[in-house]
Amino acid sequence: MIQLLKIGVLGSGSAGRTLANGFLDHAHRVMIGSRTPDKLRDWLREAGREAQVGTFEQAARFGELIVLSVNGRAAEDVIRLADLESFAGKIVLDASDPLDFSSGRPGLFVGTTDSLGERIQRLIPDAYVVKGLNVVQADVMINPTLTGDELDMFIAGDSDEAKQTVTNLLEEFGWPVIDMGGIESARWLEALSLAWVVYSHRTGKTHHAFKLIGK
């Protein structure tokens, strides 16, 4: 039986709105948090009765599960704006990435020995951070069939219970989920996102993803 959740989505960009719509399509209640909630009036009008908008703090307090869908450089500031206490005891699905284009080429502003996912876990130690959904484009997040094949979604986090909840949520979208272990494995998922970006820049393609193959 599907567990219906109250989900707070921190981030009102294309990815945040797309994820919110996907969760609403599966009967979850959703609040999008934004610096400027008023700009979401049109989205709210079309989203239906189970949708709400608010500030980052309101969305974080609303959610039983919180999705972080913002520019990686803004992620920690957004969490602070939402009030660190808002996350205590909650699952945080971190779909952000530490992408850095300052050199003119795709890169990461943290990696190998640390990750944005680990930074977020340290910032909110009483939350259960799960890295996931960071290796595909927004529309593929909620509809993996757009890739034309059956691909995998990789997750990482320290809480097995939190990862199971996230797995259940992603399976509603049709994702086979692969557990990569503790939150330190966010280092490799964020690097995988960079591989996605490099391929996209070289080819112009956006509906690609990854699959783990082997016995």
**d(Cα 101, Cα 123) in Å, to the nearest integer?**
25
Give the residue from 67, 186, 90 showing the smallest Cα distance to 135: 186
Average pLDDT over residues 152-180: 97
Average pLDDT over residues 34-43: 94
Q: What is the DSSP letter of 64?
A: S
* Residue type at 168 in one-letter notation: N
Residue 150 has pLDDT above 90, yes or no: no
**d(Cα 59, Cα 7) in Å, to the nearest integer?**
8
Tokens of 161: 């219970």
| pLDDT, tens only, 100-130 | 999 999 999 999 999 999 999 999 999 999 9
> How many angstroms separate the Cα of 105 from the Cα of each of 27, 135, 191?
40, 18, 14
- Which pLDDT band, with edges at 50, 70 and 90, does 193 fall under? very high
Tokens of 52: 């709400």
**d(Cα 54, Cα 31) in Å, to the nearest integer?**
7
Q: Supply the pLDDT for residue 181.
A: 98
pTM for the predicted model, two decimal places: 0.96
